[in-house]
Amino acid sequence: MNTSQILKLDPRLANDCFVLGQLKTSQLLLLNNSLVPWFILVPDTVATEIYELPHDQQLELLEEINIISNHMKQNFAVDKLNIAAIGNIVNQMHIHIVGRHVDDYCWPGVVWGADGKQAYQNKNVEEIKSRLTKKLPDVFTAS
Amino acid sequence: MNTSQILKLDPRLANDCFVLGQLKTSQLLLLNNSLVPWFILVPDTVATEIYELPHDQQLELLEEINIISNHMKQNFAVDKLNIAAIGNIVNQMHIHIVGRHVDDYCWPGVVWGADGKQAYQNKNVEEIKSRLTKKLPDVFTAS
C-alpha cells in the first residue's frame, strides 16, 4: 500500500485547492485562484517542519520543488518564483510554489494575506493537469 | 580565495540586516527587527531561483536551512518556522528563516509586508552571534 494513500488532506487545503495528482512523496495541489499559478506540495508526513523530515524524504521533496519550479518557469508566463513553507494556519506541512508576474494582482507584495481571488474554470484546471501529465510522465500521476 | 568573499551583498539587505557570519555556501544575516527572530541565508550565487543552483549547492543550502531551523527551534521561543525564498524586491537570492510565535506581532499572518519593526540593541545582536559561534562551531564563522 502506498503510504501516500493514507495521508488525509487537511480540510482547509481540500476546500481551497484542486488535487491535481501525486508525485513520489507529495500530493500536488492547485490553489483555486487563477490570478496566479499557485501549486502546493503536500509531503506524506505528520511532521510540521522541513528539518524534521528524514533526510531521504527531504531530498525527494527538494527534487519535487525543482521539478515543479522548472515546470512553472517553462509553462507559465512568470517572472519570479515564490517558494515557502509557512503553516501558521494550516498545520499540515505544505510548500507553496507560486509563479509571480510583475503585472500580477499583488506584485511585488506576497500572495499570502493579499486581497484578490478568481476561481478557475474547470476546463483550465484540466488543461493544467493534462500538461503536467504530458510534460512529467515519469514523476506525476494525475488524480 | 573563498568565493564567498567576492559575493557582494545587495545594498538593501546590507542596510536592513546585520551580517552575522558565514556558513559553507551562505552568508548568514539577521534582519534588524527584534519583534521576531529572523535569519536570512544568502547563498553564494548569481542565480535567482533555487532550482537553478547546481545540485551540490542545493544540498549545501538545504543543510544550512536545516542547521539554522534546528538552531532556531532550540534557542528561541518559537512555535513555527516560516521558510521562504521570495525575491520580488531584492533580486539577490536569499532565504528567510523566521521564527514565529502565536503571540507575535502579526501572527498568524506572514511577516512580509506586515507593519511592525523594532530595531535590535547591539548587545542583543552580539548575544545571538555568540550563541551561534558556541552552538555551531564546526559550520559557522562569525564576521
Its domain, for residue B122, covers: 3-142
pLDDT class of A6 with cuts at 50, 70, 90? low
Subunit contact A84:B81, Cβ cutoff 8 A: no
Nearest to A113 among B49, B65, B109 (CB): B109
Question: Using a CB-CB distance cutoff of 8 angstroms, which residues of chain A are in contact with residue B84?
Answer: 82-86
pLDDT at A65 over 90: yes
A-contacting residues in B 108-127 (Cβ below 8 Å) = 108-110, 112-113
Question: Using a CB-CB distance cutoff of 8 angstroms, which residues of chain A are in contact with residue B85?
Answer: 81-84
With beta carbons less than 8 A apart as the criterion, state whether B95 and B41 touch: yes
What total number of domains does chain B contain?
Answer: 1
* Span A68-116, pLDDT tens digits: 999 999 999 999 999 999 999 999 999 999 999 999 999 999 999 999 9
CA A17 – CA A92 distance, rounded (Å): 14
* A137 closest CA partner among A50, A21, A30: A21
CA A64 – CA A92 distance, rounded (Å): 18
∠B21-B27-B32 over CA atoms, to 5°?
Answer: 75
pLDDT at A4 over 50: no
With beta carbons less than 8 A apart as the criterion, state whether A49 and A118 touch: no
Mean pLDDT across A9-33: 98
* Span B79-89, pLDDT tens digits: 999 999 999 99
Subunit contact B112:A109, Cβ cutoff 8 A: yes
Subunit contact B83:A85, Cβ cutoff 8 A: yes
pLDDT class of B7 with cuts at 50, 70, 90? confident
- A74 shares contact with chain B (CB less than 8 Å): no
- B54 shares contact with chain A (CB less than 8 Å): no
Residues 6 or more apart whose CB falls under 8 angstroms from that of A89 comprise A12, B108
Tell me, what's the pLDDT at B4?
45
Mean pLDDT across A12-28: 98
* B30 closest CA partner among B137, B119, B139: B119
CA A120 – CA A126 distance, rounded (Å): 10
| Average pLDDT of every residue of chain B | 95
CA A62 – CA B60 distance, rounded (Å): 12
Tell me, what's the pLDDT at B6?
54
Residues 6 or more apart whose CB falls under 8 angstroms from that of A126 comprise none
pLDDT class of A132 with cuts at 50, 70, 90? very high
* Span B19-62, pLDDT tens digits: 999 999 999 999 999 999 999 999 999 999 999 999 999 999 99
Interface predicted TM-score (ipTM) of this complex, two decimals: 0.95
Subunit contact B110:A88, Cβ cutoff 8 A: yes
Query: Nine-digit cell at A27?
Result: 500530493
Q: What is the CATH number of the domain that holds A117?
A: 3.30.428.10
pLDDT class of A7 with cuts at 50, 70, 90? confident
B-contacting residues in A 29-48 (Cβ below 8 Å) = 48
Tell me, what's the pLDDT at B2?
45
